[in-house]
């Protein structure tokens, strides 16, 4: 959709809504491939199990909306990955090495300092025993947290975007939403939220700097 560029529109946008994985973290796929190899699995075993295996997809969808917890997911998904894969803290072992997106976090801090309200809108992959948001050091950055596990709904359900706006206390037209999955953007656009598809971190940060009128500065 057309993106606003003039000063008046920038000043009107007072909410920044960020996805987590692939936005506030680097692309997790290289880390997942390396982890699979360390476990003696095919490099694509993680994604094949979660995305290509019908039971793996079902379990992950159940985890996202809180129908099962991370510990149960660990147990049942480990069995799908292979007989020799230990279930203990499976999610944490696979995700702990994914780097945080430091420039995106710096952009979010600059926006907050400039008066924007910040919302984390994330499809959950569980909070216990491994909390990915605390691990990445971003939880305290946000004014509002909308995690699908707690909300009982997940992107791209339009209801989760409406819930985020309600918790922010802002109209859709005052907000910018960033996500790395194209399928998650149209429901936000339909509400009137300006959307940004996260690709490479530098390009995404540059686009947000132009939209929000702030500059990301990495801490020394």
- List of residues 6+ apart from 198 with CB closer than 8 A: 19, 22, 23, 178, 179, 180, 204
Q: What's phi and psi for 122, nearest 5 deg?
A: -135, 135
For 53, the token pair is 């295996």
Task: Find, among 77, 21, 89, the residue nearest to 49 by Cα.
Answer: 77
Q: What are the tens digits of pLDDT across the range 16-65?
A: 999 999 999 999 999 999 999 999 999 999 999 999 999 999 999 999 99
* Torsion sign, CA atoms 33, 136, 196, 208: negative
Confidence of residue 217 (pLDDT cuts 50, 70, 90): confident
Q: How confident is the model at residue 6 (pLDDT cuts 50, 70, 90)?
A: very low
Question: Is the separation of the CB atoms in 88 and 75 below 8 Å?
Answer: no
CA nearest neighbour of 103 among 213, 201, 212, 2: 201
SS (H, E, C) 53-110: CHHHHHHHHHHHCCCCCHHHHHHHHHHHHCCCCCCCCHHHHHHCCCCECHHHHHHHHH
Sheet with 194-197, edge to edge strand ranges: 144-147, 117-122, 15-18, 175-179, 194-197
pTM of the model: 0.91
The model's pLDDT over 181-215, given as tens digits with 9 standing for 90+, comes to 999 999 999 999 999 999 999 999 999 999 999 99
């Amino acid at each position: 959709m057309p993106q606003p560029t003039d000063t008046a529109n920038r000043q009107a946008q007072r909410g920044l809504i960020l996805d987590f994985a692939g936005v506030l973290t680097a692309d997790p796929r290289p880390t997942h491939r390396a982890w699979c190899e360390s476990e003696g699995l095919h490099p694509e075993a993680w994604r094949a199990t979660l995305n290509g295996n019908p039971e793996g997809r079902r379990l992950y969808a159940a985890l996202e909306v809180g129908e099962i917890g991370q510990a149960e997911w660990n147990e049942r998904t480990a069995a799908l990955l292979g007989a020799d894969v230990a279930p203990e803290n499976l999610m944490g072992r696979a995700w702990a090495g994914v780097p945080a997106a430091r420039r995106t976090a710096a952009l979010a801090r600059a926006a907050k300092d400039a008066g924007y309200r910040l919302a984390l809108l994330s499809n959950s992959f569980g909070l216990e025993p491994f909390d990915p948001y605390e691990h990445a050091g971003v939880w305290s950055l946000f004014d509002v947290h909308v995690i699908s596990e707690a909300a009982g709904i997940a992107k791209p359900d339009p209801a989760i975007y409406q819930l985020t706006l309600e918790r922010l206390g802002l109209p859709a037209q005052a907000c910018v939403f960033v996500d790395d999955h194209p399928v998650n953007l149209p429901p936000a656009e339909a509400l009137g939220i300006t959307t940004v598809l996260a690709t490479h971190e530098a390009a995404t940060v540059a686009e947000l700097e132009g939209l929000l009128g702030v500059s990301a500065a990495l801490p020394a």
